[in-house]
Structures are given as structure tokens and as C-alpha cells.
């Protein structure tokens, strides 16, 4: 039996998180949404996701704090990350590759299908 | 010039978030097949409320750019009535996000001297800002307090969200209303709404401020109490 892929969405705009979840759900991907990095760490602790869809600016510690935390645990360091941000133009690829970021999606220009494609590309 | 450019960048960024959400929702609605009626209705409601929020911001920005052009009529106003107007305007958005907004003020508070439109916009901005940080369990409160033996009235919006970290707070306090600044502990706001609120307060020769709590923050504007009642 094939395991249903599981993706953790870290997004503080609850309606956008809901939209991501709806889009991924239609593609047969199970999701959980959390609004900030601390909740993400809690969630990852109990249920390791197959991939992470991550917003850059979050309440409290930002995305890089979460990425640092994940990289510091051998069992979590390999979780592929899709960065989904409204600040995509300010991101330098070299700066984020070390954090396991596989793709950057620009919230302003992406299509719903882009999210599904990006996630499917990194799923094991 | 650099300040103008920075302001433009901040304004553009602040508008990007609601517009990006509206676009995502619209794209999904365009292509969705077999979407349950309730779900479609919910998404359309989110489009409406998000576009209204973006429009509020553009109206404020336009108003803010014209502040130097005119004089603003100050009149005695009932602060509770202003709070009721704001609560009425924001309640659909709060309801859609499962949040509650309520008023904490005497039924017959002292009147304040202010410009009705600018004061309403200040409190609307505070209310919009608070929405993002209120937890499901705790309502946002629009508060009216009498200070200095009745000569000053403080109108504020109290949220019960995550505490603002000390470094962000220090930055916020020193720049509040004077410049836009990224509030990384409160990322959905670049500080633009608070900056605009500060501009509106300055146009009435009043100031805005903030109080940090262990479980959230209060953003407020201090106003002069009307002496009209005392003369009667």
C-alpha cells in the first residue's frame, strides 16, 4: 500500500494556509498547517513531514530560525523545504541552498499547480 | 528621496500579501471542479474581505499623502460611538477569522476633540493590526480610558497575541508613527498601518503610542477631552 505523502505548511496567513492545504489536498497530499516556527518544531517532533512548505516572515522566530533548528538534527536535516514567499526577488539562491531549500515560489506569481509540482518534485 | 522610496517599497509590500491571496483564491475558483457550494461561498467571502482590507490600506495611503493640503475640522466626538463604528466595520472580517472584537468603555464617556474621519481611521488601523495577533480564545478590545483627572482620553486597541520581543519593542517605541519598520515578531505588518495612524494623529496634533503586555499589546492614541460639557 502506498503511503499518503504528508506536508507541513508553515504560514501565518490562515486563509493562505487554508488555500495551500486545499490545493495540495486535491492532489492527494495530506497536510497540516501551523502559523509559526515554534508550532512547526512541535509538529515536526511528533510527526515528521515528507516536505515543508514554508513562509519566510513568521510570527516570532522567522523561517531561518526554523531551518537552523531542522538542520541541527540529523533526522530532520533531510526534510526538503519549499520556500513560499512574497519576498522572492530578494532571495539569493546560494544563501538558502545550505538550508535544504529546494525551490522558492513567489506568492505573487505562482499558480496553484506550481505548489503541487514543487512538492511532488521533492517527495521521496 | 530615499525615505519616499522606502515608503513606496513598504506600501507595495504591504499590498502584495492581500493581492497575492486574492489571486490564489480566484485562480482556484476558476479551475475548481466539484467544489462544494459551502466551500465556494467561503472562498468568495475571503476574496471580498481581503480586497476590502487592501482597499482600506490604499484609501489610507491616499489620505495620508493629502494630509498637508488641508486643515482638519476638530469637533467633540463620543469615543464610544467611534469604537462602535470601527467594531461594526471590522466585525465581518473578525467573524470570518473566528475572532471577536468588543468594546470596553463607559456608555457615556467624556467627549474627545478630534477629526471624526482621521480618528476612525486610526482605530481601524489598530484594529486591523490586532486581528493578526489575537488568539481564537481572546477577543480584541477597543478601549476608552480617562486619564489625568479627565483632561485626557486614551483610545486604544488591546490584543492578546504573542508578546513582542524586547528588541522589536525597543525599535517600535523609538519609531512608532515616525517611520515604517519591519516588525519581525509581527510579520504581517510592516508597520505601515501604524505609520499611517501616526500621520493621522500628527495631523490632529496628537500622538500614538503602545503598551507592551506579557500577553499582547495595546496601541493607543491620546486625545484631549472636550471641555464643552464642563461649560454647561
Summarised one tens digit per residue, pLDDT across range B161-184 is 766 666 666 666 666 655 555 444
Q: Decide if domain B2-64 falls under CATH 3.30.70.
A: no
| 3-state SS string for chain A | CCCCCEEEEECCCHHHHHHHHHHHHHCCCEEEEECEHHHHHHHHHHCCCCEEEECCCCECCCHHHHHHHHHCCCCCCCCCEEEEECCHHHCCHHHHHCCCEEEEEECCCCCHHHHHHHHHHHCC
The CATH number of A6-122 is 3.40.50.2300
Mutate to test the interface with B, among A14, A57, A66, A113 (most CBs of B within 10 A): A57
Tell me which of B137 and A46 has the higher pLDDT. Answer: A46
pLDDT tens-digit map of A12-41: 888 999 999 999 999 999 999 998 888 899
Contacts of B105 (CB under 8 A, 6+ apart): B79, B80, B83, B142, B143, B144
Q: Of chain A residues 38-67, which have a CB less than 8 A from chain B?
A: 57-60, 62
User: Of A15, A16, A59, which is closest to B185 when you measure between CB atoms?
Assistant: A59
Contacts of B102 (CB under 8 A, 6+ apart): B87, B139, B140, B141, B142
**Contact across the interface for A59 and B20, Cβ inside 8 Å:** no
Do the bridges between strand B207-213 and strand B152-159 make them parallel or antiparallel, or are there none, so unpaired? unpaired
Residue tagged 466551500 (cell numbers): B39
pLDDT for the residue B176 = 62
pLDDT for the residue B183 = 44
List chain A domain ranges.
6-122
Give the up-direction half-sphere exposure of residue A41: CA atoms within 13 A in the CB hemisphere: 16
pLDDT for the residue A25 = 94
Stretches where chain B sits below pLDDT 70 are 1-5, 69-70, 135, 162-190, 228-232
Domain B74-225 fold is Heat Shock Protein 90 (3.30.565)
Evaluate whether B18 touches B26 at the Cβ level (below 8 Å): no
Evaluate whether B124 touches B56 at the Cβ level (below 8 Å): yes
How is residue B173 written as a grid cell? 517605541
Q: What are phi and psi of A104, to 5 degrees?
A: -115, 125
Q: Tell me the nearest-neighbour CA distance from A65 into chain B, angstroms.
A: 12
Distance CA A4, CA A2 (A): 6
Give the up-direction half-sphere exposure of residue A94: CA atoms within 13 A in the CB hemisphere: 0
Distance CA B24, CA B16 (A): 12
Residue tagged 492532489 (cell numbers): A27
User: Of A12, A107, A111, which is closest to B187 when you measure between CB atoms?
Assistant: A12
pLDDT for the residue B3 = 60
Q: Tell me the nearest-neighbour CA distance from A106 into chain B, angstroms.
A: 9
List chain B domain ranges.
2-64, 74-225
Q: What is the pTM of this model?
A: 0.82
C-alpha dihedral sign at A74, A75, A80, A82: negative
Amino acid at each position: 500500500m502506498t503511503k499518503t505523502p504528508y506536508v507541513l505548511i508553515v504560514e501565518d496567513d490562515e486563509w493562505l494556509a487554508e488555500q495551500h492545504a486545499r490545493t495540495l489536498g486535491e492532489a492527494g497530499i495530506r497536510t497540516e498547517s501551523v502559523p509559526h516556527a515554534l508550532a512547526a518544531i512541535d509538529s515536526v517532533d511528533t510527526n515528521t513531514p515528507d516536505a515543508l512548505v514554508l513562509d519566510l516572515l513568521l510570527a516570532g522566530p522567522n523561517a531561518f530560525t526554523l531551518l537552523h533548528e531542522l538542520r541541527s538534527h540529523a533526522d530532520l536535516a533531510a526534510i526538503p523545504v519549499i520556500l513560499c514567499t512574497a519576498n522572492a526577488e530578494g532571495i539569493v539562491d546560494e544563501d538558502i541552498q545550505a538550508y535544504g531549500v529546494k525551490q522558492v515560489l513567489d506568492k505573487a506569481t505562482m499558480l496553484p499547480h506550481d505548489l503541487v509540482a514543487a512538492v511532488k518534485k521533492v517527495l521521496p | 528621496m530615499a525615505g519616499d522610496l522606502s515608503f513606496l517599497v513598504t506600501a507595495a509590500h504591504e499590498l502584495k500579501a492581500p493581492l497575492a491571496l486574492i489571486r490564489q483564491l480566484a485562480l482556484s475558483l476558476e479551475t475548481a471542479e466539484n467544489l462544494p457550494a459551502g466551500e465556494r461561498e467561503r472562498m468568495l467571502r475571503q476574496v471580498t474581505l481581503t480586497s476590502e482590507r487592501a482597499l482600506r490600506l490604499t484609501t489610507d495611503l491616499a489620505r495620508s499623502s493629502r494630509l498637508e493640503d488641508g486643515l482638519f475640522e476638530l469637533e467633540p466626538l463620543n469615543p464610544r460611538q467611534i469604537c462602535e463604528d470601527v467594531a461594526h466595520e471590522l466585525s465581518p472580517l473578525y467573524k470570518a477569522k473566528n475572532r471577536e472584537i468588543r468594546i470596553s468603555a463607559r456608555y457615556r464617556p467624556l467627549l474627545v476633540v478630534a477629526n471624526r474621519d482621521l480618528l476612525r481611521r486610526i482605530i481601524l488601523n489598530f484594529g486591523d493590526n490586532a486581528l493578526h495577533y489575537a488568539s481564537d480564545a481572546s477577543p480584541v478590545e477597543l478601549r476608552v480610558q480617562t486619564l489625568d483627572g479627565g483632561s485626557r482620553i486614551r483610545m486604544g486597541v488591546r490584543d492578546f497575541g504573542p508578546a513582542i520581543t524586547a528588541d522589536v519593542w525597543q525599535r517600535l517605541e523609538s519609531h512608532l508613527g515616525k517611520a515604517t519598520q519591519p516588525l519581525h515578531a509581527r510579520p504581517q505588518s510592516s508597520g505601515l498601518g501604524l505609520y499611517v495612524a501616526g500621520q493621522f494623529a500628527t495631523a490632529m496634533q496628537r500622538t500614538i503610542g503602545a503598551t507592551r503586555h506579557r500577553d499582547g499589546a495595546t496601541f493607543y492614541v491620546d486625545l484631549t477631552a472636550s471641555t464643552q460639557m464642563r461649560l454647561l
